[in-house]
Amino acid sequence: MTAPPDDCLARNEWICGDYISTRSEILLDAVLQHLGLTFTAVLVALVLAVPLAVAARRWKWATGPVVGVTTILYTIPSLAMFSLLLPVYGLSATLVVAGLTLYSLTLLVRNILAGLRAVPEETRQAARGMGYGPVRLLLAVELPLALPAAMAGLRIATVSAISLVTIGAIVGHGGLGNLIYSGMNTFFKAEVLTASVLCVVIAIAADLLLLMTQWLLTPWTRRQAA
Give the pLDDT confidence of 145-189 residue by residue, as tens digits.
888 889 999 999 999 999 989 888 888 888 898 989 888 888 888
Residue 1 has pLDDT above 70, yes or no: no
Residue 225 has pLDDT above 60, yes or no: no
**Highest mean pLDDT of the ranges 50-54, 82-86, 172-176:** 50-54
b/e code 63-89 from CB counts within 10 Å (16+ = b): beebbeebeebbeeebeebbeebeeeb
d(CA 179, CA 23): 11
Residue 90 has pLDDT above 90, yes or no: no
Predicted local distance difference test score (pLDDT) of residue 3: 47
What pLDDT band is residue 6 in, cutting at 50, 70 and 90? low
Least confident of 46-55, 57-66, 199-208, 214-223: 214-223
pTM for this entry: 0.86
d(CA 34, CA 97): 11
* pLDDT single digits (tens) 11-51: 777 887 888 888 888 899 999 999 999 999 999 999 999 99
d(CA 226, CA 210): 21
What pLDDT band is residue 226 in, cutting at 50, 70 and 90? low
d(CA 10, CA 146): 54
CA of 38: how far to CAs of 26, 130, 201, 211, 217, in Å?
18, 41, 14, 17, 22
Average pLDDT over residues 199-222: 87
What pLDDT band is residue 108 in, cutting at 50, 70 and 90? very high
DSSP output for 159-178: HHHHHHGGGGGGGT--THHH
Residue 2 has pLDDT above 60, yes or no: no
Residue scoring higher pLDDT (218 or 195): 195
Q: Residues 4-7: contacts with CB within 8 Å, 24+ apart?
A: none
Predicted local distance difference test score (pLDDT) of residue 161: 92
Predicted local distance difference test score (pLDDT) of residue 74: 83
Residue 5 has pLDDT above 70, yes or no: no
Contact 49, 55 (CB under 8 A): no
Domains and CATH numbers, the chain: 17-220 (1.10.3720.10)
